[in-house]
């Protein structure tokens, strides 16, 4: 492998190690192991390169950090949410975009299929759900299904289901990413059929105002979990300088971090569905506030902030390099 390609494949990860310190012992050990692997590779193929000097210096600093023994749980949590997860998302915006495109396309497939085949909705949603909802629509309460259980039970059941569905989307990435795409297909087609059904009954706008109170976060979590699954699948398909097992383990670790970042989204979505969505007659302004607020949070935290933070980190590094304060190889 040419040195330029080696740098291109690993520069972003090294930069994160350099600019975003961590005091978590496990993370420090993980970084040290990966850097020593990179250093061994560089010493073998580029023994006289600046890359070797840079990696040696970076590995040495991390090695010293391992023995400082200053584990502060609160600081670690803050670092994860403020820097580590956003930088990780910034690195995988391409996978997030692919997951979003897949999901939108599959949702459109669900809409078109329901439009051209009257039986498709029953095939996807089930006869029981369709018959029950038809009865609710006739009784003037099309979203009565959200009022059938007590709030706490519904909250717990939905939270567990959301976590299961999203983790399934992620884990299916082990099947070379195809499994994740298939699960995005299933969920997208279901959403498309679901929305077409309500629009065909003349309550489509109401379905958006009611269902997307929780659905905005729920659907976003599935798409982001899809991105994590594609990260995992990519690590299996393209191991780069690592063995396939090493690459898969690294991809799994990044994906799991993304999934951990989704846990609050799962919980809030379940809270909305269990405690808020049942109030189908809430004021329009309040419904829009929750819906738009949820969407704004997803876009800001998982897209805009990660991109800006990543650019800032890379920009600061480039500035330091230009002033001779970094040994980063060029």
pLDDT tens track for 217-242: 999 999 999 999 999 999 999 987 77
Tokens of 220: 């976003």
Tokens of 76: 């670690």
Residue 316 has a pLDDT of: 59
Tokens of 83: 């820097």
- Asked whether 273 and 214 are in contact (CB, 8 A), the reply is yes
Residue 318 has a pLDDT of: 53
- Asked whether 244 and 236 are in contact (CB, 8 A), the reply is yes
For the chain, what percent of residues have pLDDT higher than 70? Answer: 92
Residue 102 has a pLDDT of: 98
| pLDDT tens digits, one per residue of 106-162 | 999 999 999 999 899 999 999 999 999 999 999 989 998 888 888 999 999 999 999
| pLDDT tens digits, one per residue of 168-217 | 999 999 999 999 999 999 999 999 999 999 999 999 999 999 999 999 99
Cα–Cα distances (Å) from 4 to 42, 202, 234, in that order, read 12, 59, 21
CA–CA distance, 139 with 174 (Å, rounded to integer): 46
| pLDDT tens digits, one per residue of 306-325 | 999 888 876 655 555 454 44
56 alpha-carbon distance from chain centroid: 33
pLDDT band at 60 (very low <50, low <70, confident <90, very high): confident
Q: At what angle do helices 204-237 and 151-171 cross, to 10 degrees?
A: 40
Residue 148 DSSP symbol: S
Residue 42 has a pLDDT of: 87
Provide the whole-model pTM: 0.79
Report CA Rg, the chain: 24
| pLDDT tens digits, one per residue of 35-56 | 888 888 888 888 888 888 888 8
Give, rounded to a whole angstrom, the gap between the first and last alpha carbons of the chain. 16
**Contacts of residue 274, Cβ cutoff 8 Å, sequence gap at least 6:** 151, 152, 154, 155, 156, 158
Residue 304 DSSP symbol: I
Tokens of 85: 């997860």
| For residue 254, pLDDT beyond 90 | yes
Residue 196 has a pLDDT of: 97
Tokens of 277: 């969505």
| pLDDT tens digits, one per residue of 279-313 | 888 899 999 999 999 999 999 999 999 999 888 87
């Amino acid at each position: 492998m040419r040195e330029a390609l080696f740098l291109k494949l690993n520069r972003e990860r090294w930069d994160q190690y350099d600019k975003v310190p961590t005091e978590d012992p496990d993370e420090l050990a993980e970084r040290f192991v990966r850097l020593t692997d990179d250093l061994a590779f560089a010493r073998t193929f580029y023994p006289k390169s600046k890359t070797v000097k840079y990696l040696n210096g970076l590995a040495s600093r991390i090695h010293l950090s391992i023995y400082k023994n200053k584990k502060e749980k609160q600081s670690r949590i803050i670092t994860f949410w403020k820097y580590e997860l956003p930088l990780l998302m910034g690195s995988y915006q391409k996978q997030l975009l692919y997951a979003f495109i897949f999901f939108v396309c599959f949702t459109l497939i669900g809409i078109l299929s329901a439009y051209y085949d009257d039986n498709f909705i029953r095939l996807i949603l089930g006869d029981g759900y369709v018959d029950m909802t038809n009865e609710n629509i006739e009784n003037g309460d099309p979203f009565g299904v959200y009022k059938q259980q007590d709030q706490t039970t519904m909250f717990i059941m939905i939270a567990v289901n959301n976590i299961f569905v999203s983790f399934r989307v992620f884990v299916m990435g082990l099947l070379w990413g195809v499994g994740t795409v298939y699960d995005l297909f299933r969920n997208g087609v279901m959403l498309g059929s679901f929305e077409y059904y309500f629009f065909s009954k003349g309550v489509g706008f109401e379905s958006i105002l009611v269902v997307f109170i929780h659905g905005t976060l729920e659907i976003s979590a599935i798409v982001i979990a899809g991105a994590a699954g594609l990260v995992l699948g990519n690590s299996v398909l393209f191991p780069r300088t690592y063995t396939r097992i090493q690459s898969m383990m690294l991809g799994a670790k990044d994906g799991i971090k993304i999934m951990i970042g989704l846990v609050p989204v799962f919980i809030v979505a379940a809270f909305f569905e269990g405690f808020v969505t049942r109030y189908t007659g809430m004021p329009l302004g309040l419904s829009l506030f929750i819906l738009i607020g949820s969407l704004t949070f997803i876009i800001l935290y998982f897209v805009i902030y990660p991109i800006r933070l990543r650019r800032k980190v890379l920009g600061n590094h480039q500035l330091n390099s230009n002033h001779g304060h970094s040994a980063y190889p060029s």
